[in-house]
């Protein structure tokens, strides 16, 4: 077996040294009456070629985004990732290292995480950021739990235009941890007003911008109202690229920002692994979940980095920890930080403007199709259209014509008649004129048939 270096002779010699005749003696504490009654119904080992063949066959049954005009978004976006990113994250010393518990031989990981934390604060306009979370939805969930800890209150107010999966993730944990989460009604026109839902029990208001339907929100009024009621404002961003062009939550009064960082450096990967960004005001740092990297010096006075404020964490505090989280999303955070380092301020701003321009052009083209309405007055690179019949069937018909045109809202918000004719369409830098023309032509055809 190619991954197992011990030879039969090695094993015999090691058993001899261990003073054991048969390796099964080492497993003698397993109750004999509980050993598997029948052999496992699983195949024997395979060569690299055979495995490659099996998995390649499975992969071939999927339609890769690059092979078609592609406009699918809703919290996961197809962007161009520079070639050097994937090369660098495969450096063995990054790929095959553990959480940096021995900082003297993990400065590589610690320094890039320190750089990552700083970049996240710059991007979000916040004061501190952690070393990443699993993804945007779990970051949002942790943000709500953090707000409960800080305020001592138990109720979260969630915008109806929060990504439905995020809303559900927060609701699942809230229900099981005896907290409450009140959810506004979805408003695809973007005019939702959450102010009335804020009361003296509210620990936080969770608002997404750009929201699930693509609308941008000025968070300043809601921040003011939340703060007046003693609650925190949690801003959710599912498209990190937007922060290159759109006013960041930190400039609009957000107390905590929970974002999905997949757009930078990371592939679609059918939904994971991604990288959650988590940023907050400085005064809240000791209630933050997750790993934090801090600067210090070594015994020779040289600058170095370590995991710090660990007294918040489960391995020290156990049941009194701020969160049960152990890992972050290190390698995805590395991809994120490398991509952002290649872009810098100017590159990110330019790329964000390209995204916005492509979406504006597409929105205008779609709005010109009879019976198609664009619902958004504002958007970044994603917007919602209304079509004259069930959106899910329109999307399936378009897929049959080789165009992946967006997400029917009904897939995430089933059984809501008012949302059944809506499609969320995303357009990034990867879409060219031909893609847009193909979508428009196919949609006209489908709607005419």
Partner 1 sequence: MNRQDRNLAGGAQGDRGATASDTFTGNRALEIEEALIFEIGRPDTTGVDWQDPPSVVPRLGGLTRATPTGLPALSEPEAVRHYVRLSRQNYGIDSGIYPLGSCTMKHNPRLNERMARLPGFADIHPLQPLATVRGALELIAELARWLRELTGMPAIAMTPKAGAHGELTGMMVIKAALRARGEDRTVVLVPQSAHGTNPATAALLGFRIEQIAARPDGTVDVAEVLSRLSSDTAAIMLTNPNTCGLFERDVVAIAEAVHEAGAYVYADGANFNAIVGKVRPGDLGVDAMHINLHKTFSTPHGGGGPGAGPVALSGALAAFTPIPYVIADSNGLRFVENSDDAEPGATPLGRLCAFHGQMGMFVRALSYMLSHGIDGMRQASEDAVLSANYLRASLSDLMSLPFVDRPCMHEVLFDDAWLEGSGLTTLDFAKAMIDEGYHPMTVYFPLIVHGAMLIEPTESESKVSLDLFVATLRDLAMAARRGDTARFLSAPRHAPRRRLDETRAARKPVLRWTLPAPTTPTV
Rounded least distance, CB 228 to partner 1, Å: 22
> Is 445 one of the binding residues for partner 1 (CB under 8 A)?
no
Q: Tell me the C-alpha distance between 280 and 202, whole Å.
A: 19
Q: 39 or 370: whose CB is closer to partner 1?
A: 39
Residue with smaller CB distance to partner 1, 205 or 307: 307
Name which of residues 360 to 399 contact partner 1 (CB under 8 A): 360-361, 363, 376-380, 395-396, 399
Which of residues 186, 246, 366, 375 is near partner 1 by CB under 8 A? 246
Least CB distance from residue 27 to partner 1, whole Å? Answer: 6
> ω before 210 within 30° of 0 (cis)?
yes
Cβ contacts of 309-317, under 8 Å, gap ≥ 24: 309/285, 312/286, 312/287, 312/288
Name which of residues 21 to 60 contact partner 1 (CB under 8 A). Answer: 23, 25-31, 34-36, 39-46, 48, 50-52, 54-60
Task: Quote the CA–CA distance of 257 and 254 in Å, as a whole number.
Answer: 7
Stretch of residues binding partner 1 (CB under 8 A), selected from 210-218, 225-233, 365-373, 438-446: 210-218
Residues numbered 399-418 forming contacts with partner 1, rule: CB under 8 A: 399, 404, 407, 411-412, 414-415
Report residue 203: phi and psi, to 5°.
-90, -30
Tell me, what DSSP letter sits at residue 133? B
Alpha-carbon gap, residue 235 to 147, rounded angstroms: 12
Q: In what order do the strands lie in the sheet with 422-426?
A: 373-374, 382-386, 422-426, 407-408
State which of residues 184, 261, 265, 330 lies at the interface with partner 1 (CB under 8 A).
Answer: 330
x/- mask, partner 1, residues 250-279, rule CB under 8 A, reads -x--------x------xxxxxxxxx----
Among 224, 228, 303, 368, binds partner 1 (CB under 8 A): 303
Give the residue ranges of DSSP H helices in 301-432.
Answer: 314-317, 330-367, 391-400, 409-412
H/E segment holding residue 276: strand 276-280
Which CA distances in Å does 102 have to 107, 108, 113, 324?
9, 12, 15, 21
Contact 197, 182 (CB under 8 A): yes
Binding partner 1 by CB under 8 A: which of 162, 237, 331, 442? 331
Q: Binding partner 1 by CB under 8 A: which of 144, 198, 292, 425?
A: 292
Q: Using CB under 8 A, which of 185, 193, 283, 317 touches partner 1?
A: 317
Total of chain residues touching partner 1, rule CB under 8 A: 217
Which of residues 243, 277, 372, 425 is near partner 1 by CB under 8 A?
243
């Amino acid at each position: 077996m190619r991954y197992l270096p011990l030879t039969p002779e090695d094993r015999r010699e090691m058993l001899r040294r261990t003073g054991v005749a048969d390796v099964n003696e080492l497993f003698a504490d397993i109750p004999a009456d509980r050993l598997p009654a029948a052999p496992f119904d699983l195949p024997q080992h395979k060569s690299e070629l055979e495995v490659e063949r099996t998995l390649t066959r499975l992969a071939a049954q999927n339609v890769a985004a690059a092979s078609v005009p592609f406009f699918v978004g809703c919290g996961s976006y197809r962007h161009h990732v520079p070639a050097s990113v994937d090369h660098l994250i495969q450096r063995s010393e990054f790929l095959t290292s553990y959480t940096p518990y021995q900082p003297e031989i993990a400065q590589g990981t610690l320094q890039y995480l320190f750089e990552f934390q700083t970049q996240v604060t710059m991007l979000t306009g916040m004061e501190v950021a952690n070393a990443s979370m699993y993804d945007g939805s779990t970051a949002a969930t942790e943000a709500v739990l953090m707000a409960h800890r800080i305020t001592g209150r138990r109720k979260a107010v969630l915008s109806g235009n929060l990504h439905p999966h995020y809303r559900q993730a927060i609701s699942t944990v809230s229900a099981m941890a005896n907290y409450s989460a009140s959810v506004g009604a979805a408003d695809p026109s973007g005019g939702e007003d959450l102010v009335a839902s804020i009361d003296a029990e509210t620990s936080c208001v969770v608002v997404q911008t750009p929201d699930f339907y693509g609308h941008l929100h000025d968070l300043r009024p809601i921040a003011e109202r939340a703060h007046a009621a003693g609650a925190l404002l949690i801003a959710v961003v599912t498209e990190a690229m937007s922060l290159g062009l759109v006013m960041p939550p930190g400039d609009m009064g957000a107390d905590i920002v929970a974002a999905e960082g997949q757009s930078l450096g990371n592939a679609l990967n059918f939904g994971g692994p991604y990288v959650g960004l988590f940023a907050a005001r400085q005064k809240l740092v000791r209630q933050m979940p997750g790993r934090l990297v801090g600067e210090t010096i070594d015994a020779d006075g040289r600058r170095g980095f370590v995991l710090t404020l660990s007294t918040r964490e489960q391995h020290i505090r156990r049941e009194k920890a701020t969160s049960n989280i152990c890992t972050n999303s290190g390698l995805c955070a590395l991809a994120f930080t490398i991509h952002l380092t290649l872009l810098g301020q100017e590159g990110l701003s330019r790329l964000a403007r390209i995204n916005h321009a492509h979406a504006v052009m597409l929105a205008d083209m779609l709005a010109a199709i009879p019976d198609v309405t664009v619902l958004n007055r504002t958007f970044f690179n994603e917007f919602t259209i209304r079509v004259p019949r069930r959106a899910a069937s329109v999307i399936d018909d378009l897929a049959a014509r080789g165009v992946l045109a967006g997400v029917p809202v009904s897939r995430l918000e089933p059984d809501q008649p008012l949302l059944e004719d809506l499609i969320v369409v995303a357009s990034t830098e990867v879409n060219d004129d031909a893609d847009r023309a193909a979508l428009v032509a196919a949609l006209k055809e489908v709607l005419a048939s």
